[in-house]
Amino acid sequence: MVSALCFRDSRVGLGCQKVAEKNISHALCRGDAFDRNRKEFFTMATAWLTRQLQDPLRQGDGGGTEARSVKMDRRRIALTVGFSLLGGVATSACDESPPSPENLGWLRDECPTGGALVHHAEGRLYLTELDSGQSEFLANGNQPEFSPDGRRVAWIDGTSAKGRLRQGDPTIYVIADSVEPAGGVHWLSDQSVAVVSNHGKEKQWLRVGLDGAQEPIPELTELGTGGYECDVRFAKDGVWSYVADHGWKTSEGRSGRVPGTCSVSLSVDGRTVTSLHNPHKKCDLTAIRPGGMTRVLWWKYAGGYDNHRFASADPRFLVAVDEHHQTMVVMTVDGNRCTRVGTLGRAKHGMYGDWTSTAAVRDQAWLARVRASPTSPGPWPRRKEQVVFVWDSGQSSNTLITRTAEHSLCRWEKQGRARWGTSFELILEGGRALAEASTTKLAFQDLDHSKEGTLELVLAPARDRTLRPATVLQMGSTFELTQVEGGLRGTWGGREREQVIALGTVSADRPTHLAITWNAQGCRAYRDGRKILSVPWEIFPLWSLAETLCVGARADGRQDWSGWIEGVAVSRVALADAEVKASFESRRERLASRTRSQPRHVVGTLLRKRELPPPSLYPNTLVTYDYHVEGQTVSVAHWGILDGVAFGSVRDRELAESYSLALEPWSNHPELQRFQLVGSDQLEEAPWFDGTPPGEPARIP
């Protein structure tokens, strides 16, 4: 660095050099947009240089020779450091870093018998065999991991741990139900995995065999029961290693915090942990047990890299995400060699993968006693093969089994303050959600062709009555379900001609199963499995391929509705009375358990706040603040960033000011444990969760 050479001749000496370099480093960290917005950062750096040259002298005798000398040296430092800094930024603007390599040759040399990558992107799993280099859709789910022999893959799907053979029989098996998604699934041997069980009053780690046998792991439960980027390893010497969020522990009594901010994982032997620093150019490998590695890996290619994971069964490799190309890379643990892998499954955020260096075996059998997922993925909705859209509160993979892999997963695009709830229901309070256009286009095409269909909806309004009509669900211009005062009504057709059907009253926070069927004869409606009306058509529904499926408001954002939705299913056939009743009965137990805990409304004085990370790197992040509440200090988790939007109502809070809080136990929100929680490594116990809708003002005048 040019400035460092100039400092050697400066009277101010090495001390000022260190201070200046520290300020530059701080400026760089604050300019998290170093790669995203160089123009803004260039302006910031220029302003810093100007301040150094114009700032009045605050030391020396105020006008003597010594003061002038120090001032001259200070300006020389500002000039050398500043122009070196600006030159670096200007150079970076050209982004001369090369793209990451796309060369499988060296990897094939390292793995002569074969190898494979499995990764998830946007809820889909993809498998890429090293021999072909081509990716194929594997299943729906996330957090995949290869077995030690590389012949099986396990992953999380909703609240189930599932698995299948890497090659050969494509049957998907349920390894365990009622698991905590934030704990992931981790192979302990070729025949067993470790998962966090949510069954019972307290969470605990279980060793689950492929034959269905289960055994508690108390030593691992004592270390923690899941969290952001959780990873576990059981070493040959009988020691457990555990990492989640920013902290790691071992069953031999060691513990600590990773030096980075994210991307934590454990090496095969559990002796080393990864962690990544902003702005995603530097990754630390840190030894946490004797024999572990300590080194720094620098990303020397365009953009940054993220979501580092040690290969679960090969200590030579790491798997990460090339953020510039939005694809997976496999790299050596010394950082010297790297290649992009995979032809499918790209995403802007949230990709994770695993690598195995073993050959594919097609004649391997999964143990016969493990129950397989049925051909129909679940009892709801009925006649799954006729479904054109389904979303089932995250409890199962919302898959259209008659569609290709690229159109098989139904998802919502949340807008405003729409968010997931405790049981992964969709909470709509000041927000709405639209089904992805690629899915709805095919759905409306099928409905228009079949001339019949069924809409099933499980909903619970936040209020018994509304002062104005509020749209619960809209299917383009063809059908709209609204809550009007204390009841529900459905409207078929457009503005020129409409047919309205009354669907009865609703109660706040009470879930209701609603089904509406139609065919050439007319329309029927059911509440909780019981038919409530049957009417002939005044206007037959016609579907447009350009229409949208929206819940929580109209597609244009008007007529906002408050409540929560647990399931939506649209079928291309009109279900019979008995089928609708059976569909309701299959959900009765789950509906009965859907109760909403009431938050504790208090006023707290802010004592400590923590800085949010860049939204571009961490689009869904919670942050913990400390408050003085009713005579004691409590830690509270807020949504700081949601869907890439940072909330100023949280970020800009001021110390010593009072704020309204809606506190709920953290244990009531298991769905939050999969997200980044800033400050979690500094907490001795779980924080409270502030249930105040994100973005709402909370300051007490």
- Nearest Cα to Cα of residue 457 among 543, 584, 348: 584
Please name the residues in contact with 495: beta carbons below 8 A apart, sequence gap of 6 or more. Answer: none
Model pTM score = 0.61
Question: Which pair of tokens denotes residue 103?
Answer: 């060369």
Give the three-state DSSP class for 681: helix
Question: Tokens 């059981």 appear where?
Answer: 234
Query: Is there a contact between 447 and 543 (Cβ–Cβ < 8 Å)?
Result: yes
- Of 324 and 593, more confident: 324
Element housing 523 (H / E): strand 522-527
Question: Tokens 């999380």 appear where?
Answer: 156
Query: Is there a contact between 406 and 439 (Cβ–Cβ < 8 Å)?
Result: no
Task: Indicate the burial class of 640 (C-beta count within 10 angstroms; 0-12, 13-18, 19 or more).
Answer: buried
Residue 652's pLDDT is: 92
Of the candidate ranges 97-101, 117-121, 243-247, 412-416, the one whose mean pLDDT is the lowest = 412-416
Most confident of 89-93, 176-180, 442-446: 176-180
Q: How does pLDDT run across 506-550, given as a tens digit for each residue? A: 888 788 999 999 998 899 999 999 999 999 988 788 887 667 899
Q: Measured between alpha carbons, how far is 52 from 598 in angstroms, rounded to an integer? A: 54
- Nearest Cα to Cα of residue 541 among 490, 606, 575: 490
Residue 66's pLDDT is: 43
Residue 582 phi, psi dihedral angles, 5° rounding: -65, -35
Q: How does pLDDT run across 303-329, given as a tens digit for each residue? A: 999 999 999 999 999 999 999 999 999
- Nearest Cα to Cα of residue 653 among 669, 640, 671: 640
Question: Which pair of tokens denotes residue 540?
Answer: 């037959």
Q: How does pLDDT run across 424-443, given as a tens digit for each residue? A: 678 888 889 998 887 788 78
Query: Is there a contact between 117 and 128 (Cβ–Cβ < 8 Å)?
Result: yes
- Nearest Cα to Cα of residue 473 among 491, 485, 448: 491
Tell me the three-class secondary structure of 615-660, residue by residue: CCCCCCEEEEEEEEECCEEEEEEEEEEECCEECHHHHCCCCCCEEE
- Nearest Cα to Cα of residue 263 among 153, 352, 141: 352
**What percent of the chain clears pLDDT 90, i.e. is strictly above it?**
44
Average pLDDT over residues 278-292: 94
HSE toward the beta carbon, residue 659, CA cutoff 13 A: 28
Residues in the chain: 701
Q: Where does 323-411 show beta strands of DSSP type E?
A: 327-332, 338-341, 352-356, 387-391
Residue 667's pLDDT is: 76
Q: How does pLDDT run across 78-137, given as a tens digit for each residue? A: 544 454 444 444 434 445 789 999 999 999 999 999 999 999 998 889 999 999 999 999
Q: Measured between alpha carbons, how far is 86 from 645 in angstroms, rounded to an integer? A: 30
Residue 590's pLDDT is: 60
Of the candidate ranges 187-191, 422-426, 584-588, the one whose mean pLDDT is the lowest = 422-426
Q: Name the band, by pLDDT with cuts 50, 70 and 90, for residue 56.
A: very low
Residue 685's pLDDT is: 80
Query: Is there a contact between 672 and 622 (Cβ–Cβ < 8 Å)?
Result: yes
Residue 596's pLDDT is: 57
Residue 358's pLDDT is: 92
Q: How does pLDDT run across 490-510, given as a tens digit for each residue? A: 999 865 678 999 999 888 878
Query: Is there a contact between 357 and 317 (Cβ–Cβ < 8 Å)?
Result: yes
Q: Measured between alpha carbons, how far is 271 from 254 in angstroms, rounded to an integer? A: 11
CA angle 446, 451, 455 (to 5 degrees): 70
How far, in Å, are 133, 353, 413, 646 from residue 342 at the CA level?
A: 6, 11, 26, 32
How far, in Å, are 221, 267, 284, 375, 639 from residue 275 at the CA level?
A: 23, 12, 5, 41, 23
Please name the residues in contact with 391: beta carbons below 8 A apart, sequence gap of 6 or more. Answer: 398, 410, 411, 412, 426, 435, 567, 568, 569
Q: Other CB atoms closer than 10 Å to residue 558's CB: what's the count?
A: 11
Q: What percent of the chain is helix, strand and coil (3-state, nearest 5)?
A: 20, 35, 45
- Of 395 and 667, more confident: 667
- Nearest Cα to Cα of residue 136 among 371, 430, 343, 389: 343
Q: Measured between alpha carbons, how far is 90 from 85 in angstroms, rounded to an integer? A: 9
Q: Measured between alpha carbons, how far is 284 from 271 in angstroms, rounded to an integer? A: 14
Considering Cα of 215, then 220, then 221, then 222, what sign does the dihedral take? positive
Model confidence at 7: pLDDT above 60: no
Tell me the three-class secondary structure of 434-461, residue by residue: EECHHHHHHHHHHHHHHCCEEEEEEEEE
Phi-psi region of 224 (alpha: psi -120 to 50; beta: other; left: phi over 0): left
Residue 204 phi, psi dihedral angles, 5° rounding: -155, 150
How far, in Å, are 364, 418, 549 from residue 413 at the CA level?
A: 40, 9, 11
Model confidence at 394: pLDDT above 80: no
| Beta pairing partners, 216 | 206
CA angle 242, 248, 253 (to 5 degrees): 85
Average pLDDT over residues 585-594: 66
Question: Which pair of tokens denotes residue 565?
Answer: 């939705």
Residue 64's pLDDT is: 44
- Nearest Cα to Cα of residue 387 among 545, 543, 575: 575
Model confidence at 551: pLDDT above 60: yes
How far, in Å, are 23, 557, 645 from residue 38 at the CA level?
A: 18, 35, 21
Element housing 565 (H / E): strand 563-571
Q: How does pLDDT run across 204-234, given as a tens digit for each residue? A: 999 999 888 888 999 999 999 998 899 999 9
Model confidence at 565: pLDDT above 70: yes
Model confidence at 27: pLDDT above 70: no
- Nearest Cα to Cα of residue 460 among 418, 528, 506: 506
Q: Measured between alpha carbons, how far is 396 from 156 in angstroms, rounded to an integer? A: 10
Q: Name the band, by pLDDT with cuts 50, 70 and 90, for residue 393.
A: low
Question: Tokens 């010394």 appear where?
Answer: 334
